[in-house]
Every structure is written in C-alpha cells, then in structure tokens.
A and B are shown apart, each in its own frame.
Chain A
Amino acid sequence: MDDYSYAYVIGECGSMKRKTRILCEDDMGTHETVYDNQHKNEEWCRSLVESSANSIYLVDRSCRYLFMNRKYLSRLHIKEDEYQGRSYSDFHSPEETQQFAMKVNHVFETGASIQYEYNDNSGKYFLKTLSPVKDSETGVVTAVTVVSIDITELKRAEKEREQLIKELEAKNDEMERFVYTISHDLRAPLVTIQGFVEMLRKDMIQDKNTTNTEDIRMYLEYIEGGVSKMERLLSETLELSRIGRVTNPLEDVSFGDIVGEALEMTMEQIKSSGIEISLAEEFPVVHVDRMRVMEVLVNLIENSINYMGEQRDPKIEIGYRLEKGETVFFVRDNGIGIDPSQHEKVFELFYQVETNNRGTGVGLAIVKRIIEMHKGRIWIESERGKGCTVCFTLPVVNTCTW
C-alpha cells in the first residue's frame, strides 16, 4: 500500500455494519477497494481516534474510563493497560471530578451533547464536548464520549488581544484629551492677545489726540504676556510629545544617584529658598531611563519649592517605603499642600492649581507620562495646609543584600 498518494474513506466510520469503499490514486489511475470486513472497519476508526491531536475518551455513568486514546493516555501519564477499572476521580481533584460528574450525568439524563470550557490546575484551558453513545435499538444512553481540545494558546491570545485593545483604548482616550486640551488651552492666550489688540484699536479711534501711554504700555504687556505664554505652552507640549518618542536605553542605577543629580540641578533654588533636604540612608537600584527619572525628580523638587508658601522651616524629604511588597518612592514637603479634590487634576495637561507666570501646567503631566512609561503609578498624598507627598513606583531591581 506504499505506492498510493491519496486515500479517501467513504462511508460512515461509526457504523460497523456498513461497507467501506476506499479510493486509491497512483500512477496507474484510481482503484476502488471495498471493505465489508467489520474488523477492518474498526481498525480505521481506531486509527482516526488514535491519530487525533485531541484527547478522546469514553466514560460510563459513574465516570469510569471505558476507553481512552493515546493523546489522553499521555496527558494522564499512564500506559494503555493502566486505565482499566479507573475513573476520572483518580486523576483529578474532587472539585474537577464533581464538575465533570455533573456534566456526564446531564448527558445521561438528557441524551444531548454539551460543551464547556474547563481549566485545570496547571493553568491550561480545554474545550470539552460530551456526547452520548446510544444503544442503537433502545436509544438508551450507555456511555459518554468526551473530546477535549487544548485551547490554552487560544485563550492566551484572546487575553493578549483584550489587553492590547484596552491599552489602545486608553491611548486613544489620552490622545483625544490631548488634542482637546491643546486646541482649547492654546487658544486662551489668543483671546488675550486678540482682546488687547482690539482695545488698542478702539482707544485709538475714540481718543484721537490724547494717547494714554500708560494704558498702551499695559495693553502691550498683556499682549506680550500672552505671546510668551503661548510660546511656553508650545515648547512644553513638544517636550511632552518627545517623551514617548525619544527614549534612552534603560539601565540599572541606584535611585540615590539620580536623586543626587536632581539635587545638583536644583541646588541654587534650594539654597536661595533656605530649604532643608533630608534623604533616605540608602536607596534601591532601579531599572529606568535615568535622564527621564531625573527630570521627574527635578520637577517634583521645583514644585515643592514653588508651593512652600509662608513656611518658616521649609523641608523636603526624599525617600521610599515598602508597601504591599512594592517599593514606593516619595518626595515630601511641608508646604501649602494640595486639596484632595485636586489630587488627580494636577496631573492633567495644562492644569494649574494657581495661575502664575512661572508654570504652564505641563510639568506634572510630563512627570506622570514618564512614570507611566516605566509602567509605574504616581499619586498624591496631601491635605491643604499639611504639606504634600508625591508618591510613585518604578521598576526596582531585586538585589538582596541582606
């Protein structure tokens, strides 16, 4: 039989009494062979069952194994002669057995097939189809055939897909907010500019001979203020968009080193504001984009300095704590604090607790973006008048030195 290239089995494999025709194609043409031998027929069926990549087995009402194919034997780690007299409960947990027994019972009671998903303790997922084997004369269910398909890979892909969709949706939402904020907040200075230009014109028409230079100077200052605000907004927006695109390679670096660099960058402001700095004695090693994390710290330190208020004894503390197995870094100050109602808003693009000429409301949006790029979280713990603590997480390298 080596010389044929294709073989088709025609006829119902399951019905043992029927004849089976086999067509063989070879160089000489197509030949037909008819088998009516019951033994041969069974052999074909067995071959089909045994060559299946899925587990196939039969059980009786009490979940005792009547038959199982090779695939299932190998899944249970037993040999062909070892399943006789054993039942489902010998290889599965009581919970699994109970679930299975209920399904088997259901097929026996109703005579209908059922299908369900099942995950075993090793994290594998299976799609099981239970079908009744009926006595050809009485129609009574005598056994249940189980076909179990391993869908672990499918499940994993499904989960991954859902996760990706979620991420994309979040990105899309962020993008929409971003475009909205840009289009909206960037226009606010334009109102100012347009407004004062209009006022200049009006005053010139009404006030032909006496030009109030004081007023004109004021208008021009507002216009200039609007222009430079616009400039800052644009350049910081560009900076924000760079964070996602331009990245430095991640490195293992002591968080303390980054803190040191950030303090160097802000030393002048710290000194001139007379702020006392206290640091944790040692810091964990983090796996980060060093420059970006330094930017985070510089931003947070500057915020602390700017919102110190009338504090006579200004302090900034930089440290970390362990919380539910997670390392939480923090920058804490004893300045004016932030009302809980604004804890989330401050991270929004262009949001400012105070409208002043120092900031544009982009700083904390950048900080948040950087932390999130490192798959970390950032939040604020503060009450008005009680100082402010900004907490964040970063990927920590596990170096067990103790």
Chain B
Amino acid sequence: MKEESKPIIILLVEDDESHAVLITRALEDVEVPKRIYWVTDGEEALDYLFHRGAYTDMDKSPRPDLIILDLRLPKRDGQEVLQEIKKSEELRHIPVVILTNSMKEEDEVLAYSNYVNSYLHKPTNFRDFSGLVQEVGAYWLIRNQHPDVGM
C-alpha cells in the first residue's frame, strides 16, 4: 500500500484533448491521492521522462508511478516512447499501460515485444470507457504491489 501522504504520479500521454479530460475525470474517482500530468505528444512525453526541454526542473516532472500511453501520437509515436522507456534502466520498472484506438494485431504484438505492461483498447462507449479507466487506476494504483524504486 502506498503511503497516504505521498500522492501517486500518473503520466498521461494522449493527444486527443477531450479523451484526456475524460480519462482524467474517470481517474479522479479512484480513491487514492494522485497527481496527473498530461502531455500531448511522444516527444513531450520523452522530454518529461528524461527531464529535457521544458522539463529540466525535476520538481515539475516527478517520476511517474504509472504511464498511460496512447499509440497514435504526433512527433514520436507511442511505440517509440515505450521503447525508450524500456531501454532506460531508470525508467523500465514503471508500469506502462497502452490505451489505444488501434485494434491492429501487429500493434499489439509490437507493444508486447517492447515489454508493455498492459495493452487496452479504448472502448467506443463512454460507460465502458470510464469503467475501464477506473479499473486500470484501481488495479495499478491500489491492488498492484510495486516497490518504490528510485524514490
């Protein structure tokens, strides 16, 4: 169990603003203190994670406990971001959940060969959508045991 005082950090990589708002809102219902950081493209995600560009200030880009990643992203796509994360010794322990519109099997295969922790399709119905996001939150933020590596 996480300590009450320390909020859980979630990095949300999602280029569709309306979906980002919906995901954030659904996560709010998961009862655990958390802060959600939202970036809109692959490059920004990597900048955040590696403290580059606009994210050199470590306080403004705390290491996430969970990364929710879309696949179809501007600049660098989700698979590239995933690859970089899992290549990095510092970052590879962070659970990465892909939440995507893509139903292509090849995307799925590639994601797993890039060591994704979970791969989910965005449901096309809102109730399922927010239900799924809440489940993801509950599972990874509350149920799943995870040592706080690097904290």
A residues whose Cβ falls under 8 Å from a Cβ of B = 180, 184-185, 187-188, 190-192, 194-196, 198-199, 222, 225-226, 339, 341-342, 351-355
Contact = CB atoms under 8 A, between A and B. Distances in A.
Interface residues of B, number: 25
B103 interface: yes
A191 B124 contact: yes
Contacts of B122: 188, 191
Interface centre among B16, B41, B103 (most CB of A within 10 A): B16
B23 to A, nearest CB: 10
Contacts of A354: 15, 41, 74-75
B142 interface: no
A341 B125 contact: no
20 contacts: A184-B124, A188-B122, A188-B124, A191-B125, A192-B16, A192-B22, A194-B125, A195-B22, A195-B129, A196-B18, A198-B126, A198-B127, A199-B25, A222-B21, A226-B18, A339-B77, A351-B72, A354-B15, A354-B41, A355-B72
Nearest to B21: A222
Contacts of B103: 180, 184
Contacts of A222: 17-18, 21
Contacts, number: 60
B101 A352 contact: no
The A interface is mostly helix, strand or loop, or mixed, namely helix
Contact of A192 (B15, B18, B72, B76): B18
Interface in B94-134: 101, 103, 122-127, 129-130
B37 to A, nearest CB: 19
Interface centre among A187, A194, A195, A196 (most CB of B within 10 A): A195
Contacts of B125: 190-191, 194
Interface in B13-37: 15-19, 21-22, 25
Contact of B101 (A185, A190, A339): A185
A180 B102 CA distance: 11
Nearest to B17: A222
A355 B22 contact: no
A342 B77 contact: yes
A341 B75 CA distance: 11
Contacts of B130: 195, 198
Interface centre among A192, A341, A352 (most CB of B within 10 A): A192
Contacts of A194: 125-127
A187 B129 CA distance: 12
Contact of A355 (B15, B25, B80): B15
A221 to B, nearest CB: 9
B25 A225 contact: no
Nearest to B129: A191
